[in-house]
Structure 1
Amino acid sequence: MWRDADGEVVAWAGLIRPGGLELHASPSLVPTVLRWFDQAAGSVEQTVTAMDTDTALIAGLRNSGYCEADEPYFRHCVRDLDGDLPAPTLPDGYRVRATRRGEVAERAAVHRAAWRPKSLGRLQVPPVDLGDGESGMATERYRVIAETWPYRRDLDLVVEASDGTLVASALGWYDDVNRAALLEPVGTDPRHARRGLGAAVSLACLRSMRDAGATLAVVCPRGDTGYPVPRELYHRIGFRDAGRTVTYRRAA
């Protein structure tokens, strides 16, 4: 992180993989952050993710020899929370609620069920066989998430089936400074798919965000045609596109 004379953070950057960078910086600090990245990455191909609205960063990347890469991208979608926000509608036998204390194993299990590679592969266009593996969301890993700021249990919503099994989930992250909240991730156990559970648990989470003080919600689904279903769901519950990521790459 970079701070100004008053101690305020004016830029941050992080290596997300060897040679990969994500950052946010005031325009005057973009060259400084990119020079740091040159030193930190070493002699490997370098990749930077930018928002298409961040003109200062894009100009800095181009001036440093980066070229735009044709890769899958993510849309930033937003929804105002100070207007109409429909109540979630669920089929008979299901109910939506916040995650409870002592429910970490069950919460991790519904995440794994929703994010099985084979199920995700079926949603791609055209469908892709991603194998029979499972999400790496073990109980202990979720426990760490639940014990880490800014996690809030009142923003961790689940759908419960009539037998008590958790079958869908949506997790919200609230920024009380900007009164904005991120909706990520959302998932449904494929054995309970096509019943509107993803939309219902998302709406419930949005209402909880509003109760917490948020006035704006953000979600970041894939935006390309290869994985359209999540973005379509978010548009149906009132989100609109507000920008997209762009990948820039420079050879080693």
Structure 2
Amino acid sequence: MTAIAHQHPGTTGFTDEFHRVRDFLVRINHAIPTTPGFLWGRWEWMFSLPYLDASALHRIRIWEHNGRVVAVVTYETELGSAYLLTDPEHADLLPDMLQYALEHLTRGGEVRVLVGETDHNLQRIAAAHGLTATAEAEANAVLDLAGDLSYRLPAGYRIASLANERDMLRFDRLLHRGFNNPGLPRANAEAIQERLTSVSGPHLNPELNMLVVAPDGDYAAYCGIWHEPGTTYALVEPVCTDPDHRRRGLGRAAVLEAARRCRDLGARAAYVGSDQLFYYALGFTPHSRGIWWKL
């Protein structure tokens, strides 16, 4: 059992340990996603975020067998929530993994653990440790990419990828407003660098990440997407539309264009960690849920 190396402030944290875990997630989800709520794209997105609590990275633990990673216990952006990710062939590690999470991933003395609603083995283990299920959950939905991925844009709007449009000031404004943050965007060098870092992951393909550009040149909608060449799935994260441009089909266009480009590279399904009606209206269907369990 080893730890993720500590990340020094100001670095992106794409260390050797990061890549080993990322390769582990690619491997166990290669044929059929076994951790749909925590695919490799979520791991890389987590390390791309400015609000990741880098001071706690040494608490992430990996288990190895014959020199390769077979299990991981991690938080996402801050301590207090634990994800147990394991190779199905090493499910015997789950009791130790859960015990580790309860002892080392706490925040304010408490931690919650995500347990798949059909993972009866982990449910029994959690119950034996004194945890109980709550009403809190994380939902996953999936889009069959063999379906209709067509869309229409209003006059004057155009679609573009991050490979062609990379104005981080406009990008920061879109994400600030698109996720309904209060006040004005910071519009300073720190904000610009944070946005640049968020789209600079080592496996992010800018050709797949789509912007809708408004007639005045502002960025109106965005869909981030993560796809590994040779795999049959993609992960949608994040998606937003500027409030001034909503209800015009722009978010739909960004998501479906990103999905179409992944389909052209061999993906057959796109996952998203959400149960919002917006995604169901695009053709996504409910896939699975993780339930938060607490002591």
> Sequence identity of aligned pairs in percent?
27
Map 1:191-206 to 2 at 5 A.
191-206=244-259
Structure 2 runs not aligned, ≥5 long: 1-61
Aligned residue in 2 for 1:19: 80
Specify the alignment match of 2:290 in structure 1: 245
1:107 aligns with 2:167: no
The residue aligned with 2:280 is: 235
Helix, strand or coil at the partner of 2:203: coil
Indicate the RMSD between aligned Cα atoms, in angstroms: 2.2
In 1, Cα distance between equivalents of 2:165 and 2:254: 19
Match status 1:10 vs 2:70: yes
Instruction: Tell me the CA shift for residue 106 of structure 1.
Output: 2.2
**TM-score, with structure 2 as normaliser:** 0.70
State the TM-score, normalized to the length of structure 1: 0.81
Deviation at 1:134, TM superposition (A): 6.3
- Structure 1 residues 141 and 199: CA distance shift in structure 2, 3 A: same
Q: Tell me the distance in 2 between the aligned counterparts of 1:143 and 1:206.
A: 22
Q: Which moved more, 1:107-116 or 1:37-46?
A: 37-46
Query: Which amino acid letter does the alignment assign opposite residue 63 of structure 1?
Result: A
Equivalent residue, structure 2, for 1:63 = 128
Supply the distance in 2 between the matched residues of 1:28 and 1:134 (Cα, whole angstroms): 50
CA distance in 2, matches of 1:134, 1:49: 35
Q: Give the structure 2 partner of residue 53 of structure 1.
A: 118
Structure 1 pair 133–4 and aligned structure 2 pair: CA distance change class (3 A)? farther
How many Å separate the matches in 2 of 1:199 and 1:134?
A: 26
Instruction: Letter of the 2:125 partner, please give it.
Output: G
1:95-117 deviations in Å (ceiling 9; x for gaps): 11112264233222211120124
Q: Distance in 2 between matches of 1:172 and 1:135?
A: 24
**1:135, 1:55 → 2: CA distance?**
45
Size of the alignment, in residue pairs?
225
Structure 1 unaligned runs (5+)?
A: 118-131, 224-230
Deviation at 1:204, TM superposition (A): 0.7
Cα distance in 2 for residues equivalent to 1:9 and 1:57: 20
User: Do 2:143 and 2:285's aligned partners in 1 also have CA atoms closer than 8 Å?
Assistant: yes
Q: Does the aligned pair in 2 maintain the 1:145–1:151 contact within 8 Å? A: no
Kindly indicate whether the alpha-carbon contact (under 8 Å) linking 2:84 and 2:98 is maintained by their aligned counterparts in 1.
no
CA distance in 2, matches of 1:105, 1:211: 30
Q: Equivalent residue of 2:170, what SS?
A: helix
Is the partner of 1:149 in helix, strand or coil? coil
User: Does the CA contact (< 8 Å) of 2:64 and 2:71 recur in 1?
Assistant: yes
Q: Is contact 2:230-2:266 (8 Å) kept?
A: no
Amino acid at match of 2:113: V
Other structure's SS at 2:267 match: coil
2:104 alignment partner, one of 40, 47, 50 = 40
